[in-house]
Structure 1
Amino acid sequence: MMKQENSDVIVIGGGLGGCMAALAVAKMGYQVIMTEETDWLGGQLTSQGVPPDEHRWIEHFGCTSTYREFRNRVRQYYRDNYPLTKEAKENDLLNPGNGWVSRLAHEPKVALNVISDMLAPFVNSGKIKILYNYKPIEATKDGDTVQSITVVHVNELAKIELSGHYFLDATECGDVLPIAGVEYVTGAESRLITGEPHALEESNPKDMQSFTYVFAVDYIEGGNFVIEKPEQYDFWRNYMPKFSHLPLFSWYAVDADDTTKLKEFTLFPNEQQIPSLFTYRRILDTNNIDGALYEGDISLINWAQNDYFLGPIIGVSNEEIEKNLKNAKQQSLSLLYWLQTEAPRLDGGKGFPSLRLRKDVMGTEDGLAKYPYIRESRRIKAMHTITEQEVSKEIRGEKGICTYFDSVGVGSYHLDLHHTTVTNRSFYIPNYPYEIPLGALLPIRVKNVIPACKNIGTTQITNGCYRLHPTEWNIGESAGYLVAFSMLNQVTPHQVRQEEKYLKEYQSLLLANGVQLHWPEDIDL
């Protein structure tokens, strides 16, 4: 007989959006059951191994107070637990890895500990119950309302039917949407539908952004840590993308500022001032450490060279999903082998055998992240769909930031589209800071399923900025407060947006809990 459990709110997915949704609901006094497909909470920051991509105002404004608390806790974690140098310990803006992709490049396990600590009072008191290693497989529905979602353990046949008033989809791929009957889109929309200048002429649901299996390495001078040659190495070593005249495994990648050009990189800092990819996502800089605690700096490898765009893992058969996941793992391991054995060095030699795969950093046997870094999810058909015209700096011009009457948060990032699986398109479109409209969190029909991460009502193009760490955090937090407010006032989330009285009260609740709704009027754009 299948086990059954009930709670006020069911959160499916324990990434950043899911954790913050659960936290918000629990703070409002309601009970939450949260499931997570891996054994680590934290999604992008932890099980996917991606340091936070953030905007340039992040140290001062442009995120929720809990996200700022998280960042402060990460820095304090290093001060309290690590033998930092005097300079590092006294640095209010400590960047543990001094990676140049982020002002707070840090180890995944530190993020895991900090997020767990933030949830701990509510987990320990029983307000939040976490089911690790469970994923959703089916749902029961009554018209426009979902009654239950059944989850299954990833390694066993154990199933649990979860019922509640509201269901929040915080999965990385929007896995609740198809089983719950929520209308959604995937891949690329057509220009006819969205009016976006960079959209395709015809929609293509399978033309999705690449995903990546991230891995961690350190560098031990004089060591030889060359891994066994991956079975697909010869394929990946010689693979030539159609958007380049060079092999994928080279020191050239698409220039972020001009995606029609290639830009040269290398592994380490150098006198020629060629950008270093090792320091790009470096998460531990031994210059911050007093003594020889670490043998070498640690970096996360999430580059253009291990973006997998040969096929999607959404909307295809299970066999196709498994094939693409395996190929993506082989691509990442092949990149490591190429770096260790054949990558051209600036001194004229080849290979960096002193690069060591740090399996312990990612907590896996193969050294790859527990879950692939997912850039693009299924996206709900929403009451309001955010388009390129609302975010693009070029299109908006003197109109500046697009504001919404129903804003539930803010964020900022380029419209960053990595190479897609069919057309291999990529963009890096300058943006204005943006707001998060409540309408983008509301499905067009289903009443009690709310997206809580990158599955909100964006287009493929605007997903390129709304998918980032602080924005997903904000989406999840606002979604959690939304369903708690709805239960408290015995209204539906759709009514909250429709009726001014409830919308103002809900937005006041967000403000009282540190959710910024609008950008400062005097912000330097």
Structure 2
Amino acid sequence: MTKGEKVDLLIAGGGLGGCAAAMAACARGLKVIMTEETDWIGGQVTAQGVPPDEHRWIEEFGCTKRYRNYRNRVRDTYRKNLKLKEQKEQLNPGNGLVSNICHDPRVTLHVLNEMLLPHQLTGRLQILRNTRVVSVTKEGNKLQKMTLVNEASGTEKEVEARYFVDATEAGDILPLAGLEYVTGAEAKEESGEPHAVDTADPSDIQAFTYVLGMEYREGEDHTIPEPAMYSFWRDFHPDIWPDKLLSFFAPHPISKEKRKYTLFREDEGFPLWEYRRIFDGSQFDLHAAGGDVTLMNWPQNDYFLGNVYDVTEDEKEKNLYQGKQLSLSLLYWLQTEATRPDGGKGYPGLKLRKDLFETEDGLAKAPYIRESRRIKAEYTVVEQDVSPDLHEGQAGRKFNDRVGIGSYSIDLHPSMAGRNYLDIKAQPFYIPMGALIPKDAGNLLAGCKNIGTTHITNGCFRLHPVEWNIGEACGALAAFCIDRGVEPKAVREDQKLLETFQLELREDGFELEWPF
């Protein structure tokens, strides 16, 4: 084990929450180490291949100043590197349906590296890629240090820190530190939520997805070798599904009725290709001919047969493998067996773009994990805080300790307990500081999907701008606490401290009010 280091803040996890925490903390003068298990920072938008899911006001308000800067840089990267046929202020590189900035994951990777570079050049930030936390030393309610291992070299080192942020995709620090946490669904008796289940079920966890990227080249044949599990997935018909999983039919997320999909709008149905299209070549003046590119994150490749945390290593590896096989099988089915409206079979011109994620199998570097372990928090956000049926006004509960805002519907994907979609309305909401603070740790903050939400409210707090806001608030709060010599709980409970901190957030570009 190499000699240990001492820093102000150790951030475990280099996703959007981790990166935003690092920016905020370093801008306030802290010395920071951020780890990342893959060789790409950016989490769900890069290594997991999920373009930003955002609310309808995002171009005008509803995010932090740094997140807006990030979005602007994404667009500027395309403007600097490709010739646009028409200049557009709100350029959507892929003209995808899910976002106003559907774009290549490598662009966000470039932008985040650029945004963090000043802090690396000045020595305030170290980014340790291919690195994960393997153990945590804790005394009382304080974390003291973490042991990190580099997966490429096998080397270990200890890092001491004054504060820690768990920004891992599955809340991996919580069990390592022996902290209390929740998985799956809470019982209605516990949360009081109208849509909660009657009996708590820790296994009621949303599906994860292995994303892949495809280009379409009409008239060419790019059929991949038949995946090892293709026959299983081709014939698989889940009880909660109206047809085979590999088909152009799936439950409607809201009504659960049989919903028809189409690939290229050749027929009636929801257009899968445009859903998360990240490159629309018609917008650019290209020298070389090439097809449009989309990312496969569809109902048909949600994997809900087993989880990847709080299970044995063998079970984890089995589910990761089967999740990959599902996505590859869906691609192979589309290439060879999918019925076309013209009566033909298959779209062999679908080309797996292995360069997109720089992986041998063409799949994203990591699975998109929708639902993490969640801290037992000082405050847990419940359905009643965000539901238009249960809360008056245009926005949800306006928490006194708010550190940001967000908006998204309560969107739960099929779960590993066999439950179907839950997609219900949510008001624009506020992010309470109490949801970032564990009850049983004085110097650890939750920096992404592991905050104090329920299984239900996770469905509206898990998307990109909210994760960024959560992480950025954690970085700012750690710096504030170090500067003032106080703990996060004290900031939340002392009205004068809280107002001072919130003023600093506003001055730094955080939005703490909806302008309705």
> Normalized against structure 1, the TM-score is what?
0.97
Deviates more, 1:397-406 or 1:125-134: 397-406
Deviations 1:273-321 (A, max 9, x none): 4321011100000011102445110000000110000011121111111
Equivalent in 338, 347, 356 of residue 352 of structure 1: 347
Q: Superposition pairs for residues 232-247 of structure 1, below 5 Å? A: 232-247=229-244
Determine helix, strand or coil for the equivalent of 1:328: helix
User: Residue 3 of structure 1: CA displacement?
Assistant: 3.4
1:262 to 1:292, Cα distance in 2 relative to 1, 3 A: farther
**Partner in structure 2 of residue 267 of structure 1:** 263
- Distance in 2 between residues matched to 1:269 and 1:261, nearest whole Å: 20
Equivalent in 166, 174, 178 of residue 175 of structure 2: 178
Deviations 1:20-66 (A, max 9, x none): 00110000011000000000010011000000000000000000011
**Partner in structure 2 of residue 252 of structure 1:** 249
Equivalent in 151, 154, 157 of residue 154 of structure 2: 157
Query: Is the 8 Å Cα contact of residues 340 and 354 (structure 1) preserved in structure 2?
Result: yes
Query: Is the 8 Å Cα contact of residues 411 and 433 (structure 1) preserved in structure 2?
Result: yes
Q: Does 1:45 align with 2:45?
A: yes
Query: Is the 8 Å Cα contact of residues 253 and 421 (structure 2) preserved in structure 1?
Result: no
Determine helix, strand or coil for the equivalent of 1:395: coil
**Partner in structure 2 of residue 16 of structure 1:** 16
User: Residue 5 of structure 1: CA displacement?
Assistant: 1.8
Letter in 1 for 2:352: L
Query: Is the 8 Å Cα contact of residues 206 and 421 (structure 1) preserved in structure 2?
Result: yes
Equivalent in 135, 139, 147 of residue 144 of structure 2: 147
- Distance in 1 between residues matched to 2:213 and 2:143, nearest whole Å: 40
Deviations 1:463-508 (A, max 9, x none): 0110000000000000000000000011011110011111011101
Letter in 2 for 1:38: T
- Distance in 2 between residues matched to 1:405 and 1:238, nearest whole Å: 52
1:3 to 1:424, Cα distance in 2 relative to 1, 3 A: farther
Letter in 2 for 1:455: N
- Distance in 1 between residues matched to 2:487 and 2:312, nearest whole Å: 35
Determine helix, strand or coil for the equivalent of 1:454: coil
Query: Is the 8 Å Cα contact of residues 3 and 159 (structure 1) preserved in structure 2?
Result: no
Query: Is the 8 Å Cα contact of residues 206 and 315 (structure 1) preserved in structure 2?
Result: no
**Count of residue correspondences:** 516
Letter in 2 for 1:193: E
**Partner in structure 2 of residue 387 of structure 1:** 382
Letter in 2 for 1:112: L
Letter in 2 for 1:390: D
Identity of aligned residues (%): 50
- Distance in 1 between residues matched to 2:251 and 2:328, nearest whole Å: 21
**Partner in structure 1 of residue 55 of structure 2:** 55
User: Residue 343 of structure 1: CA displacement?
Assistant: 0.8
Deviations 1:436-463 (A, max 9, x none): 0001011112101111011000001000
Determine helix, strand or coil for the equivalent of 2:391: helix
Equivalent in 209, 212, 231 of residue 212 of structure 1: 209
- Distance in 2 between residues matched to 1:262 and 1:245, nearest whole Å: 6
**Partner in structure 1 of residue 477 of structure 2:** 482
Deviations 1:95-145 (A, max 9, x none): 000001111100000010011111110011111101000111111111100
**Partner in structure 2 of residue 190 of structure 1:** 187
List, as ranges, runs of 4+ consecutive aligned residues in structure 1 with deviation greater than 4 Å.
397-400
Query: Is the 8 Å Cα contact of residues 136 and 176 (structure 2) preserved in structure 1?
Result: yes
Q: Superposition pairs for residues 276-295 of structure 1, below 5 Å? A: 276-293=271-288, 295=290
Deviations 1:73-116 (A, max 9, x none): 1111111111221x1xx200110000011111000000100111
Equivalent in 88, 93, 99 of residue 96 of structure 2: 99
Q: Does 1:118 align with 2:138?
A: no
**Partner in structure 2 of residue 70 of structure 1:** 70
Q: Superposition pairs for residues 437-448 of structure 1, below 5 Å? A: 437-448=432-443
Query: Is the 8 Å Cα contact of residues 218 and 298 (structure 1) preserved in structure 2?
Result: yes
Letter in 2 for 1:222: G
- Distance in 2 between residues matched to 1:324 and 1:56, nearest whole Å: 35
Equivalent in 292, 309, 314 of residue 309 of structure 2: 314
Equivalent in 280, 299, 306 of residue 304 of structure 1: 299
Q: Superposition pairs for residues 318-397 of structure 1, below 5 Å? A: 318-397=313-392
Letter in 2 for 1:177: L
- Distance in 1 between residues matched to 2:258 and 2:159, nearest whole Å: 50
Letter in 2 for 1:241: P
Query: Is the 8 Å Cα contact of residues 189 and 204 (structure 1) preserved in structure 2?
Result: yes
1:399 to 1:84, Cα distance in 2 relative to 1, 3 A: closer
Deviations 1:321-359 (A, max 9, x none): 111001100101101100100111111111000000000
Query: Is the 8 Å Cα contact of residues 309 and 424 (structure 1) preserved in structure 2?
Result: no
- Distance in 2 between residues matched to 1:103 and 1:399, nearest whole Å: 23
Query: Is the 8 Å Cα contact of residues 239 and 248 (structure 1) preserved in structure 2?
Result: yes
Determine helix, strand or coil for the equivalent of 1:394: coil
Deviates more, 1:273-282 or 1:492-501: 273-282
- Distance in 2 between residues matched to 1:256 and 1:292, nearest whole Å: 41
Deviates more, 1:393-402 or 1:111-120: 393-402
Query: Is the 8 Å Cα contact of residues 213 and 356 (structure 2) preserved in structure 1?
Result: yes
Q: Does 1:200 align with 2:192?
A: no
Letter in 1 for 2:173: V
Deviates more, 1:478-487 or 1:288-297: 288-297
Determine helix, strand or coil for the equivalent of 2:417: coil
User: Residue 182 of structure 1: CA displacement?
Assistant: 1.9
- Distance in 2 between residues matched to 1:405 and 1:293, nearest whole Å: 55
- Distance in 1 between residues matched to 2:8 and 2:214, nearest whole Å: 43
- Distance in 2 between residues matched to 1:50 and 1:244, nearest whole Å: 24
1:220 to 1:456, Cα distance in 2 relative to 1, 3 A: same
User: Residue 256 of structure 1: CA displacement?
Assistant: 2.8
Letter in 1 for 2:414: H
Equivalent in 419, 423, 431 of residue 426 of structure 2: 431
Letter in 1 for 2:471: G
- Distance in 2 between residues matched to 1:454 and 1:165, nearest whole Å: 23
Letter in 2 for 1:127: R
Determine helix, strand or coil for the equivalent of 1:117: helix
User: Residue 397 of structure 1: CA displacement?
Assistant: 4.7
Deviations 1:130-187 (A, max 9, x none): 1000111111111100101111122442111111000100000000111112211011
- Distance in 2 between residues matched to 1:331 and 1:28, nearest whole Å: 45
1:400 to 1:120, Cα distance in 2 relative to 1, 3 A: closer
User: Residue 424 of structure 1: CA displacement?
Assistant: 2.3
Letter in 2 for 1:261: E
User: Residue 398 of structure 1: CA displacement?
Assistant: 4.8
- Distance in 1 between residues matched to 2:60 and 2:339, nearest whole Å: 41
Letter in 1 for 2:33: I
